[in-house]
Structure 1
Amino acid sequence: MRVLVTRPEPTSARTAAELKRRGHEPVLLPLMQAIQQPEALMKAPETEASALAVTSAEAMRVLETLPQDRQAPYLALPVFSVGRATARAAEAAGFAAISIADGDGSSLAKLLISRMDAAAPIVYLTGTPRSSDFEATLQKAGYALDLRECYRMIPTSLSDAAVADRLDPMPDAILVYSSETARRLAELYARTAQSLDWQRARFLCLSDKIACALPAEFQPRSQWPMEPREDLLLLLL
């Protein structure tokens, strides 16, 4: 099966390798790219901070760019990860105490509330744009966040010719990992609806929330797994 991978590098390459292992033909078209902002991490966490929260492996990659002495105060904290992939990145970065949520911001917030006292702040390594679910749930429960926006996601620059090169012939399935990517697909569809066979593809989204960000024309052909995990997503192929 011909499968379009829309996630940013370097994760798109790992997904492509897994697709090949499963006998599929991956087509890479990253629609977003990360701009790292390591300066957001140069100030050490406050001494009273109780834990570190992370919702993307990209935050771990930014942390790894710091000098060792700047990384150490973060590595001393227990880390709460949104899911398995981010937990693997945290382990690779050197964290020892890692707790794993069920793949979304709400489950991560609930895990922290069940484990940590609200008296101490939680350091949150994150990017922009992002969903507000995690922050809203914690703040409603009375938790303080030390917010560090250490990267931002921006659209990749793609000409119509570059898009056509990847999407003609149209892949059988398109993997969609974020709401921002879903909105970018809407932009590409508006630009190329007359020249590309978009009706051919299925849209496999990491969650129902992401599927809702797709154009209305795509939603009847969208699916998502019971949990926002890539291994479950690929089972839909």
Structure 2
Amino acid sequence: MAVLVTRPHPDNAATAAALRDRGVAAVLAPLLQFEAVTVADDATQYDGLIVTSANALRAIADHPALARWRRTSVFAVGGHTAEAARALGFASVVAGEGGATELPPLIAAHFAARAGVAAGRSPALLHLAGADLAHDLSAPLDAHGIHVTVHTAYRMATVAHLPQEARDAFTAGRIDAILHFSRRSARAFVAAARADGVEITALALPQCCLSEAVARVMHDAGAEHVVVAAAPNEPAMLDTIVRALRQR
């Protein structure tokens, strides 16, 4: 069995290793490429950072304000992003369960139980986001009296074609299923599969998606077998795809 992993580098390597631990081979086909964007240091004393992707942390690894930001709390979308924050030296990390929409109440509860923000001042957070902002958390947090400033920290450029290894694997019938971690990478996969002449073969295979929103992209493309992970995180995706493969 072999699964095509469309996740960008370097996270795709960890996904491949996790698949191997489950007895499944991986073929890497990153359809998005990370590009850091310079984040201006506005010298604001933020009370915390919001990161909805580990890519945001990669983008600020050499930022001159990093030492100051490390003294604040990081609100991470899930365990993987939280681990990246700790690896970058952040000591106070609050991790959600893997969905950006779960962060506002988690953040609000954090500040409701905390006396560290100066009296009479609303908490101020910096959201280090991607250029393709999937979830703007400003409005739901503003409802809790928390001000959010959004700065673009990175962009993910679309890759037009599948790697040769992936094209060869499709031709040889070695791909048994495909993993999709975001709407953008799913759309990029469909476009690349079409451009490379493997669209019909690819869409006939099981597609395992991180969320219903990602699944809609594959349904709209004509995929015949689309499954959604029980939770929006990698372990749930891998458990789902392994079960789907064993049922074939």
**TM-score normalised by length of structure 2:** 0.84
- In structure 2, what residue type is equivalent to 1:5? V
| 199 and 186 in structure 1: CA distance in 2 versus 1, 3 angstrom threshold | closer
State whether structure 2 residue 56 is matched by structure 1 residue 22: no
Partner of 1:26: helix, strand, or coil?
A: strand
Give me the whole-angstrom Cα distance separating, in 2, the residues matched to 1:193 and 1:9: 24
Partner of 1:124: 127
- Matched with 2:151 is 148
Equivalent residue for 1:234? 238
* Alpha-carbon separation, structure 2, partners of 1:13 and 1:62: 19
2:209 aligned with 1:205: yes
Q: Report deviation, 1:102.
A: 1.6
- 2:108 matched residue in structure 1: 113
The CA distance in 2 between the partners of 1:179 and 1:199, in whole Å, is: 16
Which residue of structure 2 aligns with residue 137 of structure 1? Answer: 140
CA contact (8 A) 2:47 2:125 kept: yes
Contact 2:49 2:127 in 1 (8 A): yes
Q: Which amino acid aligns with 2:12?
A: S
* Aligned residue in 2 for 1:46: 44
Distance in 1 (CA, whole Å) between partners of 2:183 and 2:207 is: 13
Query: Alpha-carbon deviation of 1:145?
Result: 1.3
Structure 1 residue 106: deviation in Å? 0.7
Residue pair 1:28, 1:166 contacting (<8 A) in 2 also? no
Distance 1:231 1:218, change over 3 A: farther
Partner AA of 1:181 in structure 2 = S
Aligned residue identity for 1:15: T
8 Å Cα contact 1:212/1:219 also seen in 2: no
8 Å CA contact 1:186, 1:215 repeated in 2: no
Provide the alpha-carbon RMSD of the alignment: 2.3
Question: Which ranges of structure 1 fall in alignment gaps of 5 or more residues?
Answer: none
For structure 2, the residue ranges without an aligned partner over 5 or more in a row are 113-120, 243-248
Separation of aligned partners in 1, 2:183 and 2:151: 21
Does the CA contact (< 8 Å) of 2:161 and 2:192 recur in 1?
no
- Tell me the matched-pair count: 232
Contact 1:109 1:138 (C-alpha < 8 Å) held by counterparts = yes
Name the residue aligned to 1:89: 84
- Please state how far the C-alpha of 1:143 moved relative to its aligned partner: 3.0
Alpha-carbon separation, structure 2, partners of 1:44 and 1:195: 46
The 2-side partners of 1:223 and 1:56 are apart by 23
Cα offset for 1:185?
Answer: 2.3
CA deviations 1:101-125 (Å, max 9, x no partner) are 1211110122112222681211111
Contact 1:75 1:94 in 2 (8 A): yes
Between the aligned residues of both structures, percent identity stands at 29
CA contact (8 A) 1:5 1:175 kept: yes
In the alignment, the residues of structure 2 paired with residue 99 and residue 194 of structure 1 have an alpha-carbon distance, to the nearest angstrom, of 42
Q: Does 1:61 align with 2:58?
A: yes
Alpha carbons of structure 1 residues 96 and 201: separation in structure 2 relative to 1, 3 Å: same
Query: Aligned partners of 2:208, 2:217: CA distance in 1, in Å?
Result: 13
The one-letter amino acid of 2:3's match is: V
